[in-house]
């Protein structure tokens, strides 16, 4: 069985910058994914003391070789927010990144039958403490490390039901057509990585409420973000970024063909 994009989905991706496929994984599979996810988080916590700690805009980061751990802002800075690249901590993630329900649509987007990994990250939004992500694009983070930033599509894997109350993924529909947009300049250390709000129309924002096991494929240029998790429910996600085969990954410089 193949899972390639239909012509309609392909056109939607080109027009809107994203495609959502609901409930692609069973509850049993998602339970297994969550176990892998939480095992990875536990491993990250266990080695965090071995890395280099630093702060940007009072937000705590830890670098361990090619791995970066990002923590929630105070007073919740004991909670992990992002782990990237996550696969370096858990081989169990390899099965997810190579699943055809994920890779076939990516191949449709890239118009190729052979792909490799660019990066992957676990995003955590723990109940009541998980903070949001400001409006931003991925491409400005990567443009200095990739020779072909146009070929870095993403897939967002919902490990929990996501809605407005727990900070679901949101996008600015069609914003990918503008390419890399200017960042903000507010004298903060990370301000340049957030997209200048004068460069997009907030009226085009779409909250992508999706059930566990759903997949959201999105363009590397699309402006996206999310609000904080104000609920009692987890909102965990695994985001994987691909590229054509035989290309080096972000940070490590190694090649990981899928």
Angle at 157 between CA 179 and CA 51, to 5 degrees: 85
Domain ranges of the chain: 7-244
> What is the fold of 7-244?
Jelly Rolls (2.60.120)
**What one-character DSSP code corresponds to residue 237?**
E
Contact 204, 167 (CB under 8 A): no
Q: Tell me the helix, strand and coil percentages in the chain, rounded to 5.
A: 30, 30, 40
Contact 67, 80 (CB under 8 A): no
- How far apart CA 59 and CA 77 sit, in angstroms, is 8
Q: Is 50 left (phi over 0), alpha (psi -120 to 50) or beta?
A: alpha
Contact 17, 222 (CB under 8 A): yes
- Cβ-based neighbour number of residue 196 at 10 Å: 15
Joined tokens for residue 109:
């987007």
pLDDT (tens place) for every residue of the chain, 258 residues total: 899 999 999 999 999 999 999 999 999 999 999 999 999 999 999 999 999 999 988 899 999 999 999 999 999 999 999 999 999 999 999 999 999 999 999 999 999 999 999 999 999 999 999 999 999 999 999 999 999 999 999 999 999 999 999 999 999 999 999 999 998 987 777 777 899 999 999 999 999 999 999 999 999 999 999 999 999 999 999 999 999 999 999 999 999 999
Joined tokens for residue 17:
């910058």
Q: Is 16 exposed, middle or buried (0-12, 13-18, 19+ CB in 10 A)?
A: buried
Residues in the chain: 258
């Amino acid at each position: 069985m193949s899972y390639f994009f239909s012509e309609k989905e392909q056109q939607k991706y080109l027009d809107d910058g994203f495609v959502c496929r609901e409930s692609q994984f069973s509850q049993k599979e998602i339970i297994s994914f969550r176990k892998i996810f939480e095992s990875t988080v536990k491993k990250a916590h266990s080695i965090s003391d071995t890395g280099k700690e630093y702060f940007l805009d009072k937000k705590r980061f830890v670098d361990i070789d090619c791995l970066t751990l990002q923590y929630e802002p105070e007073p919740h800075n004991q909670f992990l927010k992002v782990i990237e690249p996550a696969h370096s901590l858990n081989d169990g993630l390899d099965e997810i990144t190579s699943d055809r329900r994920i890779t076939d649509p990516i191949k449709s987007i890239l118009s190729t039958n052979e792909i490799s990994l660019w990066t992957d990250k676990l995003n955590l939004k723990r109940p009541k403490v998980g903070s949001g992500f400001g409006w931003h694009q991925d491409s400005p983070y990567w443009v200095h490390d990739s020779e072909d930033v146009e070929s870095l599509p993403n897939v967002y894997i919902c490990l929990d039901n996501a809605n407005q109350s727990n900070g679901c993924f949101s996008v600015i529909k069609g914003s990918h057509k503008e390419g890399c947009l200017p960042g903000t300049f507010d004298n903060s250390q990370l301000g340049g990585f957030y997209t200048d709000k004068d460069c997009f129309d907030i009226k085009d924002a779409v909250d992508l409420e999706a059930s566990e096991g759903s997949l959201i494929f999105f363009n590397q240029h699309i402006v996206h973000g999310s609000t904080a998790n104000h609920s009692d429910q987890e909102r965990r996600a695994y985001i994987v970024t691909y590229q054509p085969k035989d290309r080096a990954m972000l940070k490590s410089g190694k090649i990981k063909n899928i």
